[in-house]
Structure 1
């Protein structure tokens, strides 16, 4: 079976990390294939929302340590970061379509940080998040040191990264680390409903919103206001804006086409 599976239906691309025997830990093949799959979703006009999830009991346990300890297979940390994880995070943030991380189990190390780089993160009540790097003498990667402090604050992020504490799904929700927790029994149904809702929304506006959020990480207030002005004009020229206004005036539900 391929290490990455993809299904596209009703505007939703569901990408599944598929190495359940290793708790979906990344090896080089899976990392490169995920990049290819994200590129396909980016250029496919039929995809208006993306779900990233895992097969089996885990979302992703991070790096496959069997690979990095193998003299034959080890690509080295320079390649792992520059060719595996960094390009994945860059794609997640640059694709101007909503990306929903559906965390179905443990998300550890790079697996946790790739999830947190997504636009919306939901989790089953049985899921957990672990900054596991310090347990083996490494530093957090995959943009964890960028996103986690912004999500939950510097002090809490510092403690979680240094101590390597496990954070349950409910606590992650309370901290603002993730959007919402669903019961295990209804998780798949709730993820499907949320993804379908995103796919039926004005994709152009969501993509521009994502671009603004990315820039807000480094912009000054004036730079952000200027950028909002430019992108608001762009969004006002979209077909979806005209449809949204007409639907409001006609008191009906809008039918957005993502254009």
Structure 2
């Protein structure tokens, strides 16, 4: 039996052991810019449970195949959520698990952000303990552009990493940020040229994988108490996001994205 057999159930994630206890995870829907469909969304919420229990893994690195890290929610998945209480309830649980399971994973998680990251993909990228972003990559939270409140990770993480002023600006406008600016405002740990991204991620992963394991894990656990103190804000933001999937603005936001046009939100009409 392969030593990766515990990951056999994952369809859109690839796994590779790179020595020194480093597990390399690749989001693998490159033909769709690694957008999160129902399967991938579930996988990104659950994989950290396996990583935490994997005796051969000391550090996990996650990146995207092709030109994107993960380009947000698959349009088909979002369309199914609109005005669908059952599906919204399922997504709410998974969105919470993306955040909580990375926080609670005892092993360090590194993200190597190689291209565009939006939505659940961005939550995974930024919730990682160390985030390394290519200069050329671009990220946006994207929720208000869709017509729903910023939920997922954003309300607890962005003000802590940057400032309340920057968080409000970027979460309400959905302006894109490249790797250089993301590092400048403190949103990511490091930014390097795309050509150096994989080597840099491996260098950092090796440093952690060969370090004092209990000390590193307990440091992660202690620092993440800052995030756990923000649980009420996170739960509120997630509830507001899910409420938005029952709105006309969300319907218009999704239609505009699919039709590649500017949205005309019903709530903003005279």
Q: TM-score, normalized by length of structure 2?
A: 0.75
Give the match for residue 43 of structure 2. 33
Q: Deviations over 1:126-173 (max 9, x none)?
A: 111102111121111222111011111111100101111001110000
Q: Which moved more, 1:33-42 or 1:93-102?
A: 33-42
Q: Which residue of 2 aligns with 1:161?
A: 171
Contact 2:80–2:87, Cα closer than 8 Å, also in 1: no
Gapped regions of structure 1 (runs ≥ 5): 220-259
**Change over 3 Å in CA distance of 1:217–1:32 after alignment to 2:** closer
Alpha-carbon distance, 1:101 to partner: 0.8
Counting only pairs closer than 5 Å after superposition, residues 49-198 of structure 1 correspond to structure 2 as 49-70=59-80, 76-82=87-93, 84-198=94-208
CA contact (8 A) 2:103 2:127 kept: yes
What TM-score, normalized by structure 1, do the two folds share?
0.78
Contact 1:116–1:148 under 8 Å retained in 2: no
Measured in 1, the distance between the counterparts of 2:227 and 2:73 equals 27
- Structure 2 counterpart of 1:8, from 17, 29, 34: 17
Shift of 1:54: 0.7
On the 8 A contact 2:132/2:197 being kept in 1, the answer is no
Please say which structure displays the higher CA radius of gyration: 1
Greater relative CO (CA pairs within 8 A, separation 6+): 2
Distance verdict in 2 for CA 1:34–1:109, change over 3 Å? closer
Residues matched between the structures, number: 216
2-structure distance, mates of 1:39, 1:171:
32
For the aligned residue pairs, the C-alpha RMSD in angstroms reads: 1.9
Q: Matches of residues 219-258 of structure 1 in structure 2 within 5 Å?
A: none
1:164 & 1:216 partners in 2: Cα distance?
25
